A and B are shown apart, each in its own frame.
Chain A
Amino acid sequence: SQTIHQWPATLVQPVGSPLSLECTVEGTSNPNLYWYRQAAGRGLQLLFYSVGIGQISSEVPQNLSASRPQDRQFILSSKKLLLSDSGFYLCASIRGHRDYGYTFGSGTRLTVV
């Protein structure tokens, strides 16, 4: 079975500072990977997804970017954080070719101050 590791669990960053959140996947190869953001009391907003190394699709134009330097590594970045970037960030992968349920990481709580 797949396991997703995300770190850090919590992060407090000042406005204008850079951001790097990392996600790594165990137990599978060539997964589809996703970054979601969850605002308080709201559903999940898809930010980026990747079907392979170096392949990134952006769903929402914004202050963030993503990269996939290795098959099982997915990174979310920002050069300058905004207050509106605060939220709960979740990395996810699709479990297998026929099973389209997600496996999620434990998330990173980002507070921009």
Chain B
Amino acid sequence: AQSVTQLGSHVSVSEGALVLLRCNYSSSVPPYLFWYVQYPNQGLQLLLKYTTGATLVKGINGFEAEFKKSETSFHLTKPSAHMSDAAEYFCAVRSAGKSTFGDGTTLTVKP
């Protein structure tokens, strides 16, 4: 069985501040890991993914995430938040042909 835990259902940052969204997973086999972003009343859009190779992966809109096997984590970061980053973010794990999503983290960006 696999699972995903996103720590903090709501995160609020000021514009220009660091964004850190936390994701921990459990998987019995090496997983593929993903971050998706969802704007209101829209589908999810892939931000970035880790499959194999380099553990620091860069995605769209300046986001990046680091796969840390020893910590079973895949936290999402962005050095400087923009107002347009306000959205809901989902971490997901895929292994053995199945995908599991976290419950999501709503990011609010204050001016």
Contacts and interface: CB of A to CB of B under 8 A. Distances in A.
Instruction: Name, among A9, A41, A90, A102, the residue most crowded by chain B CB atoms within 10 Å (CB to CB).
Output: A102
Contacts of B45: 104
A104 B43 contact: yes
Interface stretch (A14-22, A42-50, A75-83): A42-50
B44 interface: yes
Interface string B30-58: 00101010000111111001010000000
Contact of B34 (A9, A98, A101): A101
Contacts of A95: 46
Contacts of A102: 34, 36, 44, 46, 99
A109 B43 contact: no
Contacts, number: 51
Interface residues of B, number: 19
Interface of B: 9, 32, 34, 36, 41-46, 49, 51, 90, 94, 99, 101-104
18 contacts: A6-B43, A41-B9, A41-B104, A43-B101, A44-B90, A46-B99, A90-B43, A92-B43, A99-B51, A100-B49, A100-B51, A100-B99, A101-B46, A101-B49, A102-B34, A104-B44, A107-B42, A109-B41
